[in-house]
Amino acid sequence: MSTGITTSADETTSADETASTKNTASTDETAAPVTAFMLIKTMPEWLAMTPQERVNALATEVMSVVEAKTTGVRSRFYDTEFYSTRVTDVWVWEADDHTAYQLLIDALRETPFWDRYFQIVDILVGTENGYARTYGFDPVATITT
């Protein structure tokens, strides 16, 4: 029963509810994109090409197909061959949703990239700060210093 009198306990509850609502809003405003860490290793056919031939092959045989058959995907490419022998590169893909990700993989499989130029060692798929979205928390594990 409300008496119209605000107590400190009422204020604490109200502040907690507001903070919880803020945290949920910050993590639920948009659907989480799908991020895939594609661990790949160069194949002999790729290494036999000159650097210019590699750039041309990637642009004309792989990226043109990805651009034609997908929307809502972004990528970053990391060279790791000087640090690892199991994986020579990590290609990070971010897709707006699972459908965009599936179309990306289908497109890549139709190119020489897949198992001809590169061996797909592993694909690790996740969503950034999934725990925060699940529990309505701010993403405390993500920082910039």
Q: What is the pLDDT of residues 10-39, one digit of tens each?
A: 444 444 444 444 444 344 455 779 999 999
B/e letters for 79-91, b = 16+ CB within 10 Å, e = fewer, are eeeeeeeebbbbb
Q: What is the pLDDT of residues 96-111, one digit of tens each?
A: 999 999 999 999 999 9
Looking only at the bridges linking them, the beta strands covering 89-95 and 118-126 are unpaired
pTM of the predicted protein model: 0.75
User: Phi and psi for 78 in degrees, rounded to 5?
Assistant: -120, 130
Tell me the C-alpha distance between 110 and 125, whole Å: 20
Q: What is the pLDDT of residues 45-94, one digit of tens each?
A: 999 999 999 999 999 999 999 999 999 999 999 999 999 889 999 999 99
